[in-house]
Amino acid sequence: MKKRNVLNLIKYHVEDNNYGFRQEAIEIAHDFDRAGDTELAEYVLALLSDANTFVPQTSGGVGHFLRRMDYSRSPLPLPEVISEDVKGIINAVGHDAGINKFLFQGPPGTGKTETAKHVARILERDLFVVDFSEVIDSKLGQTSKNITTLFREINGFANPGRIVVLFDEIDALAMDRNNSHDVREMGRATSTFLRELDSMNTQVVLIATTNMYGTLDKAMIRRFDSVIDFGRYTRDDLLEVATTLLNVHLAKFRFAGKDVRLFNKIMRLMDEVLYPAELSNLIKTAIAFSNPGEPFDYMRRLYKAATGNVVPDAKSLREQGFSMREIETLTGTPISTLSRELKG
């Protein structure tokens, strides 16, 4: 134990930072264990074991495979068909009938990870995410050992009924064992994963996400109680999501003006409306990059992003269905001038 650890403990105590205090105490326990004082390490962990936090194993020098993740407080604009499935998960967990493993599949950016955060928040459970970069190891047989350790850590939670574990982008560990491109080592790792998944504590809620559902081992898919497809957005769903995201981001930029009708017209010019994650980034960036002295400069940026072109002349905008007031907003040209141009 170093002076830094003591100072951090005092700092976290004064700040009433319970999570920071416990993580520091766990690090101290690891130091004791590495120094050969296993009994003291186990004593420190025992003092923490009645808390609702992850207590890592100290034997074998294996590091953490789980990290705590904060809840999502931002709106979650999901289509009704997906939202109903998520409500079903909440209900199923509430019935405490051993239905606890869920697979979220769909294209990138469709809200799988954000939904997992919201599920944890609604269930009032702590959320932990697996860092697969630490689980997968190039050494022969080590990945399987790490998987075994990972599930030992998951099953070692003091209060499993207060935990959600997120396996984000599970593809790396769950490739089809019959796939010719899958190396033998990962095939063994997948088999270990399936065995450990079967023995996981049913009080822990497990959510896994994947962008590559078609490549997953069929035996893996069967292990999950329910598979939720996040690829079921219609064009109208995505346009509605875009409006929600606009309101979220405008609240952070006071200088920006608001014109939902104009925004919707611009979004409808997209050949394919983006999925929520890309939509959010597009809208946020357009507002952030805009001139603070021009409240609707971001609309011009969105128009360019939606069409691939800069804002055209008044006649072209008129043909696209924009009103005179909207054309004035997009071009910065007074309506009186626009009227003369159009007549000309």
Q: Long-range pairs for 114-117 at CB < 8 Å and ≥24 separation? A: 114/72, 114/74, 114/76, 115/76, 115/78, 115/82, 115/86, 115/230, 116/164, 116/166, 116/168, 116/207, 116/209, 117/69, 117/70, 117/71, 117/72
Query: 67-229 — its CATH code?
Result: 3.40.50.300
Stretch(es) of the chain classified as CATH 3.40.50.300: 67-229
d(CA 229, CA 142): 33
The tens place of each residue's pLDDT in the chain, 344 residues long, gives 678 888 888 887 887 777 778 888 888 888 887 787 777 777 777 777 655 444 444 333 333 688 888 887 788 899 999 999 999 999 999 999 899 999 999 999 999 999 999 999 999 999 999 877 778 877 778 888 999 989 998 998 888 999 999 998 888 775 545 554 456 767 788 889 999 999 999 999 999 999 999 988 899 999 999 999 999 999 999 999 999 999 999 999 999 999 999 999 999 999 999 999 999 999 999 999 999 999 999 999 999 999 998 988 899 999 999 999 999 999 999 999 999 888 86
Q: Collect all residues with Cβ–Cβ distance below 8 Å to 14 and sequence separation of at least 6.
A: none
pTM over 0.85: no
Q: What angle do CA 225, 228, 233 make, to 5 degrees?
A: 170
3-class SS of residue 75: coil
Q: Which residues contact 75 (CB under 8 A, 6 or more apart)?
A: 244, 248
